[in-house]
Structure 1
Amino acid sequence: MRVEDQSAVAAARRRATGLAEQLGFTGERLGRVQLAVTEAATNLVKHAVRGEMLVRVSRRGGDAAIEFVCFDRGPGIADVPGARLDGYSTSGTLGVGLGAIERIADASGLYSASEAGTVLFARFHQPDGAATVTDPPFAGLTRPIEGEEECGDAYAARLHEGTVYAMVCDGLGHGPLAARAAQEAVRVMREAVLPAAPADLLRQVHDRLGSTRGGAVAVAAVQPSAGTVRFAGLGNVAGWVLGGDRRRGMISVPGIAGAGRRPLREHVYDLPPGGAVVMHSDGLTDKWDGASLPALDRDPLLVSAELMRGAGVRHDDRCVLTVTTSGRR
């Protein structure tokens, strides 16, 4: 939702409240979600240019959380560490918002690029599992093209015996039919027997998408213990290995998953210690600089959010998935 005037603050709070109540949030814990969303949305109204907020339920197996992500294309925050302290303000207000969000959320992150914009996220786990849940080393975001309610891009990721199996599907076109193809690919990943080779998983997706309009699909197996990424792609979903000061593109073959028959190739790439893997649809331009992203030991949702903000400039459905390999701070 756009957050550009005071009325949008109340709308964001109502939407977050409804989702949180569905997950069983009540009392003080519901109040924390409401406070965090209110503070973040108010910050967008006061300081942002083209401020937007995503509020969603994120499910991982039997666990669920409510998350919000803020994006803007404003001037950025000159002093990010200072902005996280209570009392910091550039507009004469009390300046308690960002510090309060960090204290009351189960996880949060802030990243700002000068003269480009800022991203902020916060996560609140379901009350019954908040103390025991460990967030996985992956996170993604999707956004439909303007004018559509359903996104034709989708992602799935599963952690199995230390390996993350990650998939991104860009359903052909936009709207419900593209979304049906993408969600069918997600179902294949959920049902797949692991361990499995990415080429085999891609073949399963290809076979299942024959009853849909099809799409571009890529599958990766990220194995930090072996220092490798195995990758298989069909169509124009981009895959990148990040590490140190460089990024390396991974190879997909031309084609459409669900249409025709062609050999599917799997490639193996080195995964630097503490590196990351990013996969995204062509709703994001590939002309982004890995050095401008948040540090790779930050939460993967923060990395995905900055990519969506900075590289998600095309008029298209958008999807980005980040898999990190190092401990977080």
Structure 2
Amino acid sequence: MDLITGSFHVALPMGDPSCVGEARRHAALLSMECGFNDVQAGRLALLVTELGGNLVRHARQGRLLLSVRPSQKEVEVLAIDSGPGIADLELCMGDGFSTGGTPGTGLGAVRRLASGFDMHSTVPEGTIISVRVHAKPQATRLHAIHVGAVSLAASGERICGDAWAFAVDGEQATAIVADGLGHGPQAAEAAREAVATFLEDPTATPSDTLRRIHGRLRRTCGAAVAVLHANAAAGTITTVGAGNVVGRVISGVSDRSVLTADGTAGRAIRTPVETTTPWPPHAVVILSSDGIATRWSSSCVTAALGRTPSVVAALVARDQRRGYDDATVAVLQRRN
């Protein structure tokens, strides 16, 4: 079983070339946290430089999102913009295609340097690029479920009051998204406590997990929580929750909402009642906190169903984030 957790994404606007240097400095701190050697840290710095330079020169509202996953010894970099988009992805990936005179040779170099790479672009909406750098080669694990998440602090906050985690084992996975009440350190403490409780026994039923979280959060400000169990073999997801963390199951032909009950874990919740929902083969499962709009068209996701969960999560966060609250999007995808 793989337990996957991560820090919230630090969002760095790429308004001018000096912003790229700031992003490199933050990436250096994450490199140290992951124990990268000089070669690995250098690769990450080049990736940040290339992606950041692209955003400064070519994009509207470009920003880099950086996050660390200590358990995987991995740093994730997301390059996000709101246009103009790339009309010919195959051409831009070729060697010799200049993306702005930065030290690399464009996105082809980015793909070679990264341990993991994916991108999605539409005209004129914009582009999302996901790259990951590992401290060491990752063992091949043939899980049937892929996962990814994006978590962002509310505007003006230095810490995110949301938290997330996954446990993936073959054809089954469990997930949690917790949204601490309010903002700032107290909200973050409640969300982290919820995730820590989940990770103590990630194979427990969602309802049992929620009950344990409710008891553990009584000494905190409380949190909205959703817990999910996904079974790729059976094609089902089972969910339970309290508060305004909601779910969607989206495919090219269907869009189904998964709602949670009223309440706040740690304060007052109803008796947990699990809901089982079909999970079509090509559908993604999305859990989101209330920093994401509750009503939005699934068309933005259906265009990216073939992309990795991190790209799908970033796409939802880019287009549906409210801005005044912490925002988290967690995505599960079946391997087809």
Q: TM-score, normalised by structure 1?
A: 0.91
Once the two structures are superposed, residues 21-63 of structure 1 have per-residue CA deviations (whole angstroms, 9 ceiling, x without a partner) of: 3423234333221111110000010011121112221134xx3
Shift of 1:316: 0.8
What CA distance in whole angstroms lies between the structure 2 residues aligned with 1:314 and 1:38?
26
The count of corresponding residues between Structure 1 and Structure 2 is: 322
Shift of 1:277: 0.8
Q: Which residue of 2 aligns with 1:218?
A: 226
- 3-state DSSP of counterpart to 1:137: strand
User: Residue 275 of structure 1 contacts residue 326 of structure 1 at CA under 8 Å; is this kept in 2?
Assistant: no
Matches within 5 A, 1:273-288: 273-288=281-296
Q: Which residue of 1 aligns with 2:67?
A: 56
Q: Which 10-residue stretch deviates more, 165-174 or 73-82? A: 73-82
Q: Which residue of 2 aligns with 1:246?
A: 254
- 3-state DSSP of counterpart to 1:159: strand
Shift of 1:118: 1.5
Q: Which residue of 1 aligns with 2:97?
A: 88
Q: 1:147 to 1:309 in 2, by over 3 A?
A: same
Shift of 1:133: 5.2
What CA distance in whole angstroms lies between the structure 1 residues aligned with 2:232 and 2:269?
32
Q: Which residue of 1 aligns with 2:310?
A: 301
Q: Which 10-residue stretch deviates more, 134-143 or 204-213? A: 134-143
What CA distance in whole angstroms lies between the structure 2 residues aligned with 1:178 and 1:77?
39
Shift of 1:90: 7.2
What CA distance in whole angstroms lies between the structure 1 residues aligned with 2:87 and 2:178?
37
Once the two structures are superposed, residues 110-143 of structure 1 have per-residue CA deviations (whole angstroms, 9 ceiling, x without a partner) of: 112322222111101113xx15255971111111
1:34 aligns with 2:28: no
User: Residue 296 of structure 1 contacts residue 326 of structure 1 at CA under 8 Å; is this kept in 2?
Assistant: no
What CA distance in whole angstroms lies between the structure 2 residues aligned with 1:271 and 1:220?
12
Identity %: 38
Q: TM-score, normalised by structure 2?
A: 0.89
User: Residue 244 of structure 1 contacts residue 272 of structure 1 at CA under 8 Å; is this kept in 2?
Assistant: no
What CA distance in whole angstroms lies between the structure 1 residues aligned with 2:99 and 2:63?
20
Q: 1:67 to 1:183 in 2, by over 3 A?
A: same
2:165 corresponds, among 156, 162, 174, to: 156
Q: Hey, which bits of structure 1, 4+ residues long, moved more than 6 A?
A: 90-95
- 3-state DSSP of counterpart to 1:44: helix
What CA distance in whole angstroms lies between the structure 1 residues aligned with 2:102 and 2:208?
56
- 3-state DSSP of counterpart to 1:219: strand
Shift of 1:240: 0.9
Shift of 1:162: 2.7
Matches within 5 A, 1:122-271: 122-127=131-136, 130-132=137-139, 134=141, 137-160=146-169, 162-192=171-201, 194=203, 196-271=204-279
Name the amino acid aligned to 1:19.
L
Shift of 1:264: 1.5
Shift of 1:93: 8.4
- 3-state DSSP of counterpart to 2:268: coil
Q: Which residue of 1 aligns with 2:326?
A: 317
- 3-state DSSP of counterpart to 1:179: helix
| Runs of at least 5 residues in structure 1 that lack an aligned partner in the other structure | none
Shift of 1:193: 5.3
- 3-state DSSP of counterpart to 1:13: helix
